Structure 1
Amino acid sequence: MKDFINKLYRNHSLIYKGLLFISTTFFIVYLFPKGGKFKYNFENEKPWQSENLYAPFDFAIKKTDAEITSEKDALAKNSTLYFNLDNTIEIKVKSSYKNQFKNIFPDSISRTLSNKLYKTGEEIIDKLYLFGVLVEDYSFSNTKAIVVLDGRVEKQKGSFSNLIKQDAVSKVIDNTLSKRELMHYKTGFTALFFDLIEPNLTYNKSFTDKVLQEEISKIAYTRGSIAKETLIVSKGEVVEGDKYQILKSLQSEYESQVWSESSYIWVLFAYTLLVALALLMLLLFLRKYRVLVFENNTKVTFIFFNISLLIFITTMVVNYNSKYIYIVPICILPLIFKAFFDARLGLFAHVLTVLLIGFIVPNSYEYMFLQIIAGIVTILTVSELYKRANLFISVGQITLIYIIAYFAFIVIHEGSVKTIKWETFIWFILSGLATLFVQPLIYIYEKLFGLVSDVSLLELSDTNSKLLKELSDKAPGTFHHSLNVANLAEASANEIGANAMLVRVGALYHDIGKMKNPTYFTENQSTGINPHDELSSKESARIIIDHVINGIEIARKNNLPDRVIDFIRTHHGTSVVYYFYMQEKKDFEEVDKLDFSYPGPKPFSKETAILMMCDSIEAASKSLKEPTSTKIDAFVENIINKQIEDGQFLNANITFKEIESIKKVLKHKLANIYHLRIEYPE
């Protein structure tokens, strides 16, 4: 049991990667559509490229969205409006009319005329309340059918024109009085009915909508059916009209039909295989070409998290409305990976992510082509992400590529530019603007995952930072030496295409350990007194070697990133403090070389190798007397060749060609430092 636990502990990193791989695979598969996938690609008004297609099973022909929308619009246009009747209003009005009639028309008029006027008023009330008076003015068509409800009982049917609007009451009064030749009594009737007439009809919107929805729910979404083994389309036949709709119906049936339990399991199994294969390729790429990233579980988690996040966001957008898929800033992925890792890893991960998203989005080939091309442009155009102008320029180029490629696809599909959906260009522009969010996102990721981007390196390169100012105060000679090394290292990195910002920052901080005992290092000895004179060679060597350990401790306390601390650890590799080693050999026959060797490790990247070369060259160049071009060339060759012979660069992915390029840069820089001129003959 103990051996098993020890074995688990030794392999905990691989076990974690396995669990991460499995969980990410299942999460992505969970996001995928769970139906079948139609294996044929076809386009409207284009020839059928595959073999003759026969119906694999019975299926219904679905109506187009336009047909269904047209039917819904027709139902809405012809739907009936329902109004609630308050039947107490008419009774109340008639009662009030009876009481107030005598107040308006005096007893001095004849009985016959009084009866005629009274009956005319009753006639007006009957006309007004035949269907009813509306509470408010509604903007419905006069031809709309209406039903008046008394409680839940249907009382009247008619058209909306039968209902009396409040501003039409006076018109009814005028028409009735004109018909009865009583227009000279208009003032009296208007005054009588002004406060008397009350609306008694209220529009019942909820009931009207309910009835309409019941009618819409009865709409048939299919028209006819296709029997199994029926020829649907022949090879070379143009897909258009009904044939196109039949094929769309078959495709929809494949993608949305209810699967049997066994079929469902097989579909899931197939998806799982494909997703696992893609993620496995990513892990194998890391293991073969990015070993340091592969061995760091935090970085592997970061990569898998970003891939899963983009697939999740795309799935949510597709489920909401697939026309918005181009708003999702897929190109943010290679930007992030390039900022934290490198361009090759960024492009590889981007392509795999786009391939996985292809299972989710419609028109997958067009989508994948656009996104892969855009990703390549992103990798090729974005350099020095910490420069804001570069990001804006790159986003503009990415958006332009989207628009050009989409335009080309539309022309290929439609043969014309008339059908271009111009709103899609707006989605591309919004995607470009969303890509600008990469800057704050990088900052968030740095805090969450403890990673370092070029933006952070730019901040660390500020010589006014607290730690570098402290170095300048305590060890001014070392600070000046670090600045010189930084300039040499940056120029060398630019020459061979390494990360110039990273190597510059590493050079600025590589000797911060000398702050602990600054006077024990010659560049800080301004008084002419050398404290090593009072120490043994072994003690002196130990103090010199300890500046690496002290530097790591100071860097940890000041929260410097691991990428920067790597330069402190490796800038001397496993080299020997040669001066004190030779001094010790003069006094003793047997000397343990390890007592005078740095603990290492050796440089393990181009950048750390560059720093080792530049540090050694800059420090030793102070001993050059009467330098000439010939002396400088020999000087650079000797120091770097000695490092090669000692095997200091065996773990770094740097080539002999690149080392030769670095030598040329260093020779040129030293010649400039010493202001060498051409030696003219006497």
Structure 2
Amino acid sequence: MKDFINKLYKNHSLIYKSLLFVSTTILIVYLFPKSGKFKYDFEKGKPWQFENLLAPFDFAIKKTDDEINTEKQLITSNVALYFNVDNTVEPRVNKAFSNAFKIAFKDSINPNTLAQLRKVGTNVLNKLYAFGVLNENYDFDDNRAVTILDNRTKKHDAFYSNLIEQNQVSGIIDEALKNASLTLYKPQITSLFFDIVSPNLTYNKSLTDKAIEEALSKMSYTRGSVEKGTLIVSKGEVVEGDKYQKLKSLQSEYESQVWSDASYNWVLFAYALLVSLVMLMLLLFLRKYRNKVYENNTKVTFIFFNVALLIFITTMVVNYNAKFIYVVPICVLPLILKAFFDARLGLFTHVLTVLLLGFIVPNSYEYMFLQIITGIVTILTVSELYKRANLFISVGQITLIYIIAYFAFIVIHEGSVDSIQWETFIWFILCGLATLFVQPLIYAYEKLFGLVSDVSLLELSDTNSKLLKELSNKAPGTFHHSLNVANLAEASANEIGANAMLVRVGALYHDIGKMKSPTYFTENQSTGINPHDELSAKESAKIIVNHVIDGIEIARKYKLPDRVIDFIRTHHGTSVVYYFYMKEKEDFEMVDKKDFSYPGPKPFSKETAILMMCDSIEAASKSLKEPTSTKIDAFVENIINKQVEEGQYLNANITFKEIQSIKKVLKQKLANIYHLRIEYPE
């Protein structure tokens, strides 16, 4: 049992990666659509690139969206409108008319005229309530069929034009009076009617909507069918019109058919295979080309998390409305990975993620082409992300590439610009604006995952920071030395394409351990008193060597990132404190070299190797007397060649060519520092 536990502990990193791999694969497969995928990729207006396609089974031809919308409008307009009638209104109005008429018209009026007026009034009421008076005006077509209900029982069938709107009453009265040549009495009659007329029809919206819904439910979404074995499209034919609709119908039928349990499980298994294959490629890439990232479980988790997060967001958008697919800022992924790692890892991960998204999005080829192109542009254009202007410029370029590529696709597909959906350009602009969110996102990731980006390195490079100010006060000579080393290291890094910001920050903090015993280091001895004179060579060496350990402790206390602490650990590698080692050998024959050696490790990156060279050159250059170009060249060559012979750079991925370039930079910089002039012959 103990052996088993020890074995588990020994392989805990591999076990964790396996669990991460499996869980991420399961999550992504869960997000994927659970149906088969049509094996033919076709586009409207382009030739059919495959062999002649025969119908694999009987299927119905689906109507186009335009056909369905037109039919829905036709059905909706043909469904009768339902109105409820209040039967108590008409008798009440008739009675009110009789009473009001007697009051309004006295016996002084000619009896014949009075009889005519009463008849006109009665005719108007009969016309108003023949079908009914509406309680409000509605925006319906005059020819729309209407059903009038009395207590849910059909009373009349009519058209909407038969119903009287309240603003029509005055016109009906005018017409009746004109026909009877009684326009003289218009004011009295109009006033009378406006006092007594009441609406008796109310629109029954719920019943009408129910009737429309019932009619729409009977609508057929297909037109005709294709029998098994029928030729759908021949090789080389342009996919358009009826052929395109048949292909879309076949695709829809194929992808939406009900799967048996066995088939469903096979689909899941196939998805799992493809997703696991992609995620495995990512792991193998990390293991082969980015081993330091691979060995760090936090960093691997971070990469997998970002891939899964983008797939999740894209899936949610597609499920909501696929037209918003280009609003999702996919280019945030390579931006973030480049900020924390490097461009190559960012691009590789981006391409794999886009390949996975091809299973989810519509028009997958177009989508993948656009996203891969913009991902490449992102990697090529974004540099020094900590400079705000660079990010804005890059986002503008990304948005422009989206628009140009989309425009080209539409012209190829449609053959003209008339069918361009201009609102898609708005989605691209929104995508660009969303990409700007990468800055706060990087900050959040730094806190969540303990990673370091160039933005944080820029903050650490501020010489007014608390720790560097303390170094300046306690060990001013060391602080000045660190500044000089930082300048040399930054120039060297720029020469060979290394991370200049990282190596500069590492150089600024590499000697903070000297703050613990500053006077034991010559650059801080301003009084001319050397405390090493009172110590043995071994004790002196121990103090010198311990500045590395002390530096790591101080860095941990001030919560410096591990990437910066690496420079403190490695800037002397496993080299020997040569001065005190030779001094000890003068007094003793047997001397253990380990007592005078730094604990290491050796530099394991270009940046840490650069710091080791620059630190040694800058410190030793103080011993140069009457420096000349020849002396400086020999001096630089001797120090760095000695480090190479000792194998200090064996673990760093730095080439001899790059070392030669660094030597050249250091020689030039030292020559500038000492203001050398041309050596004239005597």
Instruction: Please report the TM-score for the alignment, with normalisation by the length of structure 1.
Output: 0.97
- Which residue pairs with 1:123 in the alignment? 123
1:262 aligns with 2:262: yes
Equivalence for 1:412 = 412
Which segment drifts farther, 307-316 or 293-302? Answer: 307-316
Worse overlay, 665-674 or 209-218: 209-218
**Separation in 2, partners of 1:188, 1:198:** 18
CA distance in 2 between partners of 1:83 and 1:530 (Å)? 109
SS of the equivalent of 1:122 reads: helix
Higher mean alpha-carbon deviation, 116-125 vs 260-269, is at 116-125
Offset, 1:67: 1.0
Q: 1:185, CA displacement in angstroms? A: 2.3
Name the residue aligned to 2:438.
Answer: 438
Match of 1:279 in 2: 279
Worse overlay, 7-16 or 390-399: 390-399
Task: Identify if the C-alpha distance between structure 1 residues 589 and 73 changes in structure 2 by more than 3 Å, giving closer, same or farther.
Answer: same
Question: Which residue number corresponds to residue 77 of structure 1?
Answer: 77
**Amino acid in structure 2 at the alignment position of 1:533:** D
* Residues 474-493 of structure 1: pairs in structure 2 closer than 5 A: 474-493=474-493
Task: Report the counterpart of residue 361 of structure 2 in structure 1.
Answer: 361
SS of 1:238's equivalent in the other structure is coil
Letter of the 2:338 counterpart: K
Task: Provide the C-alpha distance between the structure 1 equivalents of 2:281 and 2:140, rounded to a whole number of angstroms.
Answer: 64
Q: Which amino acid aligns with 2:536?
A: S
- 1:612-666 Cα offsets, whole Å, 9 max, x none, are 1111111111111111111111111111111111111111111111111101100
SS at match of 2:463: coil
Q: Residue 100 in 1 paired to residue 100 in 2?
A: yes
SS, match of residue 202 in structure 1: strand
State the distance in 2 between where 1:646 and 1:151 align: 105
Looking at structure 1, the residues matched to 664 and 236 of structure 2 have their Cα atoms a distance apart, in angstroms, of: 65
> What's the counterpart of residue 534 of structure 1?
534
Return the alpha-carbon distance in structure 2 between the equivalents of residues 175 and 155 of structure 1.
28
Deviation at 1:116, TM superposition (A): 4.5
| Aligned-partner Cα distance in 2 for 1:456–1:83 | 71
CA distance in 2, matches of 1:675, 1:293: 43
Aligned amino acid, residue 200 of structure 2: N
Q: 139-148 or 500-509: which moved more?
A: 139-148
Deviation at 1:104, TM superposition (A): 1.5
Q: 3-state DSSP class of the match of 2:464? A: coil
Aligned to 2:187: 187
Q: Deviations over 1:84-139 (max 9, x none)?
A: 32333323323333333332222444666545544433332222222222222222
Aligned to 2:562: 562
Rounded to whole Å, the distance in 1 between the matches of 2:518 and 2:91 is 108
Separation (CA, whole Å) in 2 of partners of 1:477 and 1:398: 47
* 1:618 aligns to 2:623 (yes or no): no
CA distance in 2, matches of 1:198, 1:542: 109
- Comparing 444-453 with 318-327, greater Cα deviation is found at 318-327
1:288-327 superposed matches below 5 A: 288-327=288-327
Indicate the residue corresponding to 2:67 in structure 1.
67
Give the Cα separation in 2 of the matches to 1:238 and 1:522.
83
Q: Report SS of the residue matched to 1:539.
A: helix
Please give the residue correspondences for 1:580-595 in structure 2 after superposition, counting only pairs within 5 Å: 580-595=580-595
Q: Quote the residue 1:498 is aligned against.
A: 498
Q: What CA distance in whole angstroms lies between the structure 2 residues aligned with 1:398 and 1:104?
A: 81
Aligned pairs for 1:595-634 (under 5 A) are 595-634=595-634
Aligned-partner Cα distance in 2 for 1:357–1:667:
52
Please list, as runs of the form range in 1=range in 2, the aligned pairs for 1:121-520 lying within 5 A after superposition: 121-520=121-520
TM-score of the aligned structures, taking structure 2 as reference length = 0.97
| Letter paired with 2:663 | K
Q: Which residue of 2 aligns with 1:33?
A: 33
Note the 1:659-674 alignment, pairs <5 A: 659-674=659-674
Q: Which residue of 2 aligns with 1:524?
A: 524
How far does the alpha carbon of each residue in 1:554-587 deviate from its partner, in whole angstroms, 9 at most, with x for none?
1112121111111111111111112222222222
> In structure 1, how many angstroms separate the alpha carbons of the residues matched to 2:449 and 2:88?
74
User: How far is the alpha carbon of 1:321 from its aligned partner?
Assistant: 2.3
Q: What is residue 574 of structure 1 aligned with on the other side? A: 574
The one-letter amino acid of 1:465's match is S
> Which segment drifts farther, 270-279 or 46-55?
46-55
Relative distance call for 1:512 and 1:88 in structure 2 (3 A) is: farther
Q: Which amino acid aligns with 1:158?
A: A
CA shift, 1:402, in A, is 2.2
Matched residues in 2 for 1:13 and 1:339: separation?
25
Q: Note the alpha carbon deviations across 1:420-464, whole angstroms, 9 max, x for none.
A: 333333322222222222111111111111111111111111111
CA distance in 2, matches of 1:187, 1:235: 81
Q: Counterpart of 2:46?
A: 46
Deviations 1:336-389 (A, max 9, x none): 110000011011101111111111112222221221121112111111111112
Q: Distance in 1 between matches of 2:45 and 2:285?
A: 43
The alpha-carbon deviation at position 205 of structure 1 amounts to 2.6
- How far does residue 222 in structure 1 lie from its aligned partner after superposition? 1.0
Q: By how many angstroms is 1:672 displaced? A: 0.3
Deviation at 1:266, TM superposition (A): 0.9
Shift of 1:324: 2.3
Aligned to 2:18: 18
CA distance in 2, matches of 1:650, 1:87: 103
Task: Give the stretch that moved more between structures: 130-139 or 381-390.
Answer: 130-139
Structure 1: how far apart are the matches of 2:325 and 2:160? 45
How many angstroms apart in 2 are the aligned matches of 1:671 and 1:337?
39
Letter in 2 for 1:207: L
Amino acid at match of 1:642: K
User: Please, which moves more after superposition, 292-301 or 430-439?
Assistant: 430-439
CA distance in 2, matches of 1:110, 1:368: 91
AA matched with 1:614: C
SS at match of 1:452: coil
SS of residue matched to 2:125:
helix
Question: What do residues 126-160 of structure 1 show as CA deviations (whole Å, max 9, x unaligned)?
Answer: 22222222222222222222222233222222222
Alignment-mate amino acid for residue 379 of structure 1 = I
Q: For 1:46, what is the secondary structure of its paired residue?
A: coil
Q: 2:547 matched to which residue of 1?
A: 547
Indicate the SS of the match to 1:225.
strand
SS at match of 2:651: coil
| Per-residue Cα deviation, 1:316-344 (whole angstroms, up to 9, x for no partner) | 22222222222222111111110000011
* Partner Cα separation in structure 2 for residue 333 and residue 323 of structure 1: 21
Distance 1:134 1:281 in 2: 72
Q: Deviations over 1:456-475 (max 9, x none)?
A: 11111111111111111111
3-state DSSP of counterpart to 1:393: helix
Give the counterpart letter for 1:497 in structure 2: G
Q: Distance in 1 between matches of 2:130 and 2:553?
A: 96
CA distance in 1, matches of 2:238, 2:9: 64
- Aligned partner of 1:96: which letter? A
Mapped partners of 2:535, 2:166: distance in 1:
112
Equivalents in 2 of 1:151, 1:504: separation in Å?
A: 88
Letter in 1 for 2:69: T
Amino acid at match of 1:279: M
Q: Give 1:599 deviation, angstroms.
A: 1.3
Equivalent-residue separation in structure 2 for 1:195 and 1:12 (angstroms): 92
CA distance in 2, matches of 1:91, 1:546: 111
- What one-letter code is carried by the residue in structure 2 that aligns with 1:580? F
Q: Distance in 1 between matches of 2:398 and 2:191?
A: 75
Structure 1 range deviating more: 335-344 or 2-11? 2-11
AA aligned opposite 2:224: G
Q: Residue 384 of structure 1 aligns to which amino acid in structure 2?
A: E
> Match of 1:670, SS?
helix
* Whole-angstrom distance in 2 between the partners of 1:681 and 1:85: 122
Q: CA deviation at 1:30?
A: 1.2
Aligned-residue CA RMSD (Å): 1.8
Of the structure 1 ranges 233-242 and 479-488, higher mean CA displacement relative to structure 2 is found in 233-242
Unmatched 5+ residue regions in structure 1? none
